[in-house]
Amino acid sequence: MNNKIAHLKAEVDEILKENILPYWMNNMLDKENGGFLGRITGDEVIKRDAPKGAVLNARILWTHAAAYQVYKDKTYLKVATRAKDYLLDYFYDEEHAGIYWLVDYKGDPIETKKQIYAQGFAIYGLSEYYRATQDEEALKYAIKLYKIIESHSFDRENNGYLEAFTQDWQVIEDMRLSEKDENVQKTMNTHLHILEPYTNLYRIWKDDSLKKQLTNLINLFLERFIDKESNHLNLFFDTNWNSKSEIISYGHDIEASWLIYEAALVLNEVEILEKVKKVVPFIVKAAEEGLQSDGSLIYEKSYQTGEIDMERHWWVQAEAVIGFINHYQYYNDEHSLNLALDCWEYIKGNLIDWQNGEWFWSVYADGSVNRKDDKAGIWKCPYHNGRMCLEIIERF
């Protein structure tokens, strides 16, 4: 093993076990109402009555199941099992099927819309739990959610997946995943986070229909999402695939570069893998446009105005490290390894909270730490940074 990689591996191993996982295990268990607390602010204030998000719960499930798989430490399994049980007991809609978006701190549904992104993360977490434990209930619900996505969200006429639905799977007016998103029928982000769980589910369930839909998703990325001129990913589309994108998202570019590659590897079809191999370096190169001299990757840029958001988000840096490592590993590209290492140095110097554990949400353009946004919450979860560590540990 390359000395640089050996050193990186030792460091991320320590960060995962000493900085990331303990934060969630020590601070986030809701001992009064079950499951996990909904929010801790950037100033470490615990909000006991905050709503609980499906995505946070599913990502806690994925991270701790994946950590148990690598380390075989029962304390990680305990947290993963707690997350699995809470997801199925409180977020799963027994009447209409699917996963609610939000429940209140006591576990009662408060936002019952069916966001496909959340269904995807539930599959991701449940399939990882099955990989780690061979728990049949987890596999059963992962398959059930896959079939729900296919029956309600898959667009048989125009291809792709529709964003969101009402509780009983009817058309919904506001499809947005968050306030910063466009209200459109199809988004790159949701497709990326269907690709990711379908890949994980295919590892454990070699179903023909799943294989067909995973193949289709990879092809959609190659044919629809990657901009033919810039090699950035277009983010927003109407039903007929007319692009509504005005933004370059550097984090999504680099994240997609390795998730598409991973999907092709797991699918294990020579022709598809060859197609993906040709395209990935172009996406990586496009993502590099957002790199700064300090090793960090900035957030986004507007195609229309040229305005640049210089904030350094925690998840963007984590995905940059894996994306560049992936490019080094499969293309023997030493330059990419150095980019990954530079970004890791930036993370260590700026984003890791060495005092309280976990990572800050972001660093502003002026170099100051963002304490306004959550330390833990609906979107701030252990999965991007936890997965970065686990990927490096497992790959090498």
Q: Beta strand 300-302 with 164-165: parallel, antiparallel or unpaired?
A: unpaired
Q: Name the residue type at position 347.
A: I
**Residue-wise burial string across 62-89, b where 16 or more C-beta atoms lie within 10 A, e elsewhere:** bbbbbbbbebeeeebbebbbbbbebbbe
DSSP state, residue 179: T
Give Dmax over CA atoms of the chain in angstroms. Answer: 55
Query: Are 394 and 346 spatial neighbours (Cβ–Cβ below 8 Å)?
Result: no
Give start and end residues of each alpha helix (H) in 134-207: 136-152, 188-204
- Angle ∠(92,101,377) on CA atoms, nearest 5: 115
Cα end-to-end distance, the chain, whole Å: 7
Query: Are 40 and 375 spatial neighbours (Cβ–Cβ below 8 Å)?
Result: yes
| pLDDT number for residue 1 | 82
Rounded Cα–Cα distance for residues 91 and 278 (Å): 40
Q: Return phi, psi of residue 126, to 5°.
A: -65, -40
Domain count of the fold of the chain: 1
How many Cβ atoms sit within 10 Å of the Cβ of residue 381? 25
- What is the domain-level CATH number for residue 315? 1.50.10.10
Q: Is the pTM of this model over 0.85?
A: yes
Spans of the chain below 70 pLDDT: none
Nearest partner of 254 among 198, 211, 298, judged by Cα: 298
The boundaries of the domain holding residue 8 are 3-395
Rounded Cα–Cα distance for residues 123 and 147 (Å): 11
